Amino acid sequence: QVQLVESGGGLVQPGGSLRLSCAASGTILSNNAMGWYRQAPGKERELVAVITSGGNTNYVDSVKGRFIISRDNAKNTVYLQMNTLKPEDTAVYYCNYNAYYGSRWRDYWGQGTQVTVSS
């Protein structure tokens, strides 16, 4: 089992920045992917950014050039640096961890942290 604990959400004005952190604990495999998803009221959850244990990254188009995902493998922690925030970034952000345990794919979720971008 894997537990993910998120921190760093809050209220910020448009154009501001926040950094989200997610610390993983439990039976963590060295070969894995971690990412951030978000869900706004009335909308489906969407992938924001993902990073593999090897450092490969992908971003949804709407955050490219503004958000940076990174990780510290020694601490089993993933970060999301969110710059030039826009009101449309307002959502609950969820940390995700996934890996193959043998032939079975497993994923785990953080508790979610609210990010609100408003004047």
Q: CA-to-CA distance for 94 and 115, rounded, in angstroms?
A: 11
Characterize the bridge pairing of strands 18-26 and 2-7.
antiparallel
pLDDT in tens, 33-49: 999 999 999 999 999 99
pLDDT of 89: 98
pLDDT tens-digit profile, the chain (119 residues):
999 999 999 999 999 999 999 999 999 999 999 999 999 999 999 999 999 999 999 999 999 999 999 999 899 999 999 999 999 999 999 999 999 999 999 999 999 999 999 99
φ, ψ of residue 75 in degrees (nearest 5)? -100, 0
